[in-house]
Chain A
Amino acid sequence: MSEEPGGPGRAPRDARHAWARLRRAGSPRPSRSNLLAMLLAAALGFAIIAQVRQTSIQGLETLREDELVRIFADVDQDGDQLSGEVRDLQSSLDLLKSRTTGEQEAQRAAQQRLDALGILAGTAPATGPGVLVRIDDPQGKVRQTIILDAVQELRAAGAEAIQVGSVRVVASTWFADTDAGISVSGTEVRPPYLIRAIGDSDTLAGAMQIPGGVTATVRRAGAEATVEIQDKVEVGALLSVRTPQYARPVPTPTP
């Protein structure tokens, strides 16, 4: 194929001699062989560049079958791995989502409970349909028992929030007579007495106006009671919660 040398074991020639020989061979001579050698060398350089470029831009179409199979297997394996990763991440996302939803749910339930308890304990303002009971008492005939009856009657009729004058009525509210009017939990309330109650307005109004009920009692005492049904009754008076000094909740056994 190529020029074979004289075989191994030759005595190395003089290096200077070799360089001169090389120079002489490379020096320009106007010969056909020299031109041909240059042409071949140029072709070689061109081919090298073409191949280097081809290798750097090579796509899949020039690969052999077994290489394609190998690449395919690699891609397949990668795909399996990645889809497994996707599954893992999806499940942890679901977990986190459900946890968040659970927390939101618990928070919502707690907020609902807080609202209900706030209305019940009088620490939150309340609004809704209900009645406005107005007791005009110019002669000072109305005693606290009448007001208490009215409150109890409203409670029995399902009132959810009650306010007498500017005082919220809760579980610990008490009534007492004073010279100028009545005292509600220590706050002086003078006539006319305004009782706001939130609940089913028809039931509340009916409870006020039943024969022998609050309206009749007030009238018999010499005062005037009017019951007004309203779509929106504001019970805005608030109570501050006092931490019980003596009473402690009995711990409930956890299931």
Chain B
Amino acid sequence: MIPAIGLALGILVGLLLQPAVPVWLQPYLPIAVIAALDAVFGAVRAILDGIFSDKVFVVSFLSNVVVAAFIVFLGDKLGVGSQLSTGVVVVLGVRIFSNVAAIRRHLFDA
């Protein structure tokens, strides 16, 4: 419940402040958001599996974001930025889907 409230709060603040993304952050933010979503779904699944750990969640959240941003940064430097971004999105998307599938099996037995 608390994380959901936090999410709603963040969305509300974002809507109110109308933030502009700094230029240096613009290429990395979309990938970082996907990575963070992956961490969140992973955390929900871990709760349902009974192996959730605060420390692991925080570390995985932050490392997911940083690694995703770093991969994009590296890809941009190597000249394969768009391809690498696509690759990261695909990998994270697959992970999110598998996590959601596990959550669904837990909650609905289906």
A1 lies within 8 A of B64 (CB): yes
Bound Cα distance from A38 to B57, whole angstroms: 12
Q: Report the tally of A-B residue pairs with Cβ distances under 8 A.
A: 176
Please give the distance in Å from A192's CB to the nearest CB on chain B.
Answer: 102
Contacts of B32 in A (CB 8 A): 47
CB distance from A34 to the nearest CB of B (A): 5
Are A64 and B18 touching (Cβ within 8 A)?
Answer: no
Check B44 against A1 for contact (C-beta < 8 Å).
Answer: no
Q: B106 — which chain A residues lie within 8 A by C-beta?
A: 12-13, 15, 18
A3 touches B60 (CB 8 A): yes
**In residues 39-81 of chain B, which contact A (Cβ within 8 Å)?**
39-58, 60-61, 63-64, 67, 76, 81
- Cβ A44 vs Cβ B108 within 8 A: no
Which A residues between 31 and 52 are near B, CB-CB below 8 angstroms?
31-34, 36-51
- 14 A-B residue contacts at CB 8 Å? A2-B99, A3-B43, A12-B106, A34-B54, A38-B9, A40-B58, A44-B37, A45-B9, A45-B13, A47-B10, A48-B33, A51-B29, A53-B20, A64-B82
- A51 CA to B9 CA in the complex, in Å? 16
Binding site for B on A (CB under 8 A): 1-6, 10, 12-13, 15, 18-19, 21-23, 25-29, 31-34, 36-51, 53-55, 61-62, 64, 66-67
Q: A46, B21: Cβ atoms under 8 Å?
A: no
Question: In the complex, A136→B95 CA distance in Å?
Answer: 125
* Other A-B pairs, 14, CB within 8 Å; known A3-B46, A10-B49, A22-B44: A1-B38, A2-B43, A2-B99, A3-B57, A5-B46, A12-B105, A13-B106, A26-B3, A34-B2, A37-B57, A41-B5, A43-B10, A46-B19, A50-B20
Prevailing SS type, chain B contact patch: helix
Across the A-B interface, the 7 shortest Cβ-Cβ residue pairs: A45-B10, A2-B42, A49-B14, A33-B54, A3-B46, A41-B6, A38-B6
| Shortest beta-carbon distance from A58 to chain B in Å | 8
Q: Do A64 and B81 touch (CB < 8 A)?
A: yes
A54 nearest in chain B by CB position: B21
Contact between chains at A67 and B82 (CB < 8 Å): yes
Interface centre among A3, A5, A22 (most CB of B within 10 A): A3
User: Contact between A1 and B8 (Cβ–Cβ < 8 Å)?
Assistant: no
Min Cβ gap A38→B in Å is 4
- Closest B residue, CB atoms, query A24: B47
In this complex, which of A6, A19, A23, A48 has the most chain B Cβ atoms within 10 angstroms of its Cβ?
A48
B54 touches A48 (CB 8 A): no
> How far is B48's CA from A82's CA once the two chains are assembled, in angstroms?
60
Q: Considering only CB atoms, which chain B residue lies closest to A50 in the complex? A: B19
Q: Which of B91-110 touch A at CB < 8 Å?
A: 95, 99, 102, 105-109
